[in-house]
Amino acid sequence: MVFDILGYKIKETKAPICVGLDTAYDYLPDYCRSELNENDPFETMASDILKFNTAIIDEIFDIVPAVKIQIAYYEMYGYHGLKAYKETIDYAHAKGMVVICDAKRGDIGATAAAYSTAFLGGVEAAGKIHHAFEADILTVNPYLGSDGIEPFLNDMEHSGKGIFVLVKTSNPSSGEFQDKLCEGKANYLQVAEKVAEWGEKFIGRTGYSSVGAVVGATYTEQAKELRELYPHMFLLIPGYGAQGAGGDDIAVAFDAHGGGAVVNNSRGILLAYKQERYKTVSFELAARAATLDMKEDILAALKRAGKEI
Amino acid sequence: MVFDILGYKIKETKAPICVGLDTAYDYLPDYCRSELNENDPFETMASDILKFNTAIIDEIFDIVPAVKIQIAYYEMYGYHGLKAYKETIDYAHAKGMVVICDAKRGDIGATAAAYSTAFLGGVEAAGKIHHAFEADILTVNPYLGSDGIEPFLNDMEHSGKGIFVLVKTSNPSSGEFQDKLCEGKANYLQVAEKVAEWGEKFIGRTGYSSVGAVVGATYTEQAKELRELYPHMFLLIPGYGAQGAGGDDIAVAFDAHGGGAVVNNSRGILLAYKQERYKTVSFELAARAATLDMKEDILAALKRAGKEI
């Protein structure tokens, strides 16, 4: 099951980190930009983005277990962008990485089944299974309830793949609906309860279910609470770095052995080359250095919290 | 503003209907399927889907104002599918239709901005604005709160485009989170209150805001309640046909003049050619006949309710 694999890889690298490849074209240094095809600029932009991504992956695949690839940044560039999305996924897989597709999909049953086919299941055609975007783990939105989640669970049955359900997101206004007190319990806790229920039959060898949850590093109390309430729930922690959280904020989300969570950093790594600290090196070496600094920060915080990996 | 245009077109056609182009390859009659390219079957499948869609659009553009194109069905076939998605949008626009991109996107601010760029805003490159997927209206998910919605509102400022926010969805388990009583009010009503607030500064000539709401035809009481509480809120009503609702179920969602709502039907129209009633004609003529029957059903129901268009 996918969180067993991710857990082993985290132990091996001592890096509970996924690098977020949220690669907007604007993030590319000038020297990475080819001359645009005026009639179809997305083609050139997408191909430059893919080159940038593969250079980053080459520098991080040996030090972190996973990438999280946010599809919005590729959708901006149309189907060319989505071709780069697919090729980034495939390249990360070829380098042995766990791939989290961050798409936050959610819809009614029949449509959720189509999303699940796109990211988890695959389409049978010409005697083979073909994958549109081959995720190991997909992020999903819970607002539509169980029948919008079931198609993903069905595709997880035999594949060992996983999902992260949005529970408490990292953004400033996440509380507007997520924190509302609903029938005696905050809304995000109502969602978490369902996440645990959906995940019951997917618990792997390392004790974690393939149905995990997203909880923002910017909400330390909620991350701590979820970690304590749900020992089988693997947590994806966005919000480190550019969004403001540091190592000590996220240590609470880990179990006693420094397991059960993976922390994402996107802009802090992709744009490291713009920081004073890293600006003497190329973008990909800056990304590697920033990733190693993040690892050190998290390991030190886990040590202070008595949760060494 | 987009709901003024949609409103005028509904009056002109007397059809408060959008045809849902949720075109799975499985929906295509055998005679629409080309021989698959074994190495890259998605390319052939996507091109067959596009042909099917354009044949349907040719038969309905003169009798209904809008199409709703559900992106999940295109994502299944990877970037080739998404090319067919874009080309379906562009074809519907060329025929003068209002295009609703049903993608239910939702994310934190920076990422929502990328989604908004993909569907509403466009990317400036080589001295022009280029559109990935040019929606007139996009469906969005509210779970992340205001800062996940603001980027869409920003892109709506000058373009006159719109969004439909998920309030009460049509699926059986939508109540799990949406109906929970949150601080004295069902969660979907908490969302509806915010939708009204987001929409305040986008009210057009016909009295409807460019920030609309999705409410399932399968939840008559809630549709009635939202119609009464929020006179400026344009409603997108899925759930007619295959999901079980008929004309009388949806009449409550319209204002006194038969305005303020548009009803979607996807499978009931795309797969009409499989129904006994329509099976003597081609799929596109079956789609046209099913659309006209739906129009008649809705107009009769509106007449019974004293809400003639």
DSSP annotation string for chain A: -HHHHHHHHHHHHT--EEEE----GGGS-GGGPPPP-SS-HHHHHHHHHHHHHHHHHHHHTTT-SEEEEETHHHHTTHHHHHHHHHHHHHHHHHTT-EEEEEEEE---HHHHHHHHIIIII-EEETTEEE-SS--SEEEE--TT-GGGTHHHHHHHHHH--EEEEEEE-SSGGGHHHHTSEETTEEHHHHHHHHHHHHHGGGB-TTS-BSEEEEE-TT-HHHHHHHHHH-TT--EEE--BSTTSB-HHHHGGGS-TTS-SEEEEESHHHHTGGGSGGGTTS-HHHHHHHHHHHHHHHHHHHHHHTT---
Q: Does A185 touch chain B (CB under 8 A)?
A: no
- What are the pLDDT digits (tens) for A136-188? 999 999 999 999 999 999 999 989 999 999 999 999 999 999 999 999 999 99
Instruction: Decide: pTM greater than 0.95.
Output: yes
Here the ipTM equals 0.97
Chain B CA closest to residue A132: B78
Domains for chain A: give ranges and CATH numbers: 2-304 (3.20.20.70)
Q: Does B155 touch chain A (CB under 8 A)?
A: no
Q: Does A166 touch chain B (CB under 8 A)?
A: yes
- What are the pLDDT digits (tens) for A255-307? 999 999 999 999 999 999 999 999 899 999 999 999 999 999 999 999 999 99
Q: Does A146 touch chain B (CB under 8 A)?
A: yes
Under an 8 A CB cutoff, do A174 and B118 touch? no
The pLDDT, as a whole number, for residue B174 is: 96
Catalytic one of B14, B51, B83, B104: B104
Under an 8 A CB cutoff, do A77 and B178 touch? no
Q: Does A133 touch chain B (CB under 8 A)?
A: yes
The pLDDT, as a whole number, for residue B46 is: 98
Q: Does B171 touch chain A (CB under 8 A)?
A: yes
- What are the pLDDT digits (tens) for A206-238? 999 999 999 999 999 999 999 999 999 999 999
The pLDDT, as a whole number, for residue B16 is: 98
Phi, psi (deg, nearest 5) at residue B81: -60, -40
Under an 8 A CB cutoff, do B78 and A86 touch? yes
Nearest to B172 among A147, A170, A182 (CB): A147
Under an 8 A CB cutoff, do A143 and B177 touch? yes
Nearest to B42 among A24, A130, A166 (CB): A130
Q: Does A142 touch chain B (CB under 8 A)?
A: yes
- Scanning A248-307 for CB atoms below 8 A from B yields none
Q: Does B174 touch chain A (CB under 8 A)?
A: yes
Q: Which of B38, B45, B111, B179 would best serve as a mutation to test chain A binding (most A beta carbons within 10 A)?
A: B111
The shortest C-alpha distance from A22 to chain B (Å) reads 9
Q: Does A194 touch chain B (CB under 8 A)?
A: yes
Under an 8 A CB cutoff, do B78 and A133 touch? yes
Which residues, including other chains, have CB under 8 Å from residue B259's CB and lie 6 or more apart?
B7, B10, B11, B16, B206, B208, B309
| A278, HSE (Cβ side, Cα atoms, 13 Å) | 20
**Ranges in chain B, pLDDT < 50:** none
- What are the pLDDT digits (tens) for A33-89? 999 988 899 999 999 999 999 999 999 999 999 999 999 999 999 999 999 999 999
The shortest C-alpha distance from A245 to chain B (Å) reads 15
The shortest C-alpha distance from B197 to chain A (Å) reads 13
Catalytic one of A9, A104, A295, A307: A104
The pLDDT, as a whole number, for residue B198 is: 98
Annotated catalytic residue A83:
no
CB B149 within 8 A of CB B176: no
The pair of structure tokens assigned to B271 is 């797969």
The pLDDT, as a whole number, for residue A199 is: 98
The shortest C-alpha distance from B24 to chain A (Å) reads 8
The pLDDT, as a whole number, for residue B276 is: 96
Nearest to B41 among A110, A130, A147 (CB): A130
Q: Which of A23, A70, A176, A218 would best serve as a mutation to test chain B binding (most B beta carbons within 10 A)?
A: A176
Under an 8 A CB cutoff, do A146 and B173 touch? yes
The pLDDT, as a whole number, for residue A46 is: 98
The pLDDT, as a whole number, for residue B279 is: 87
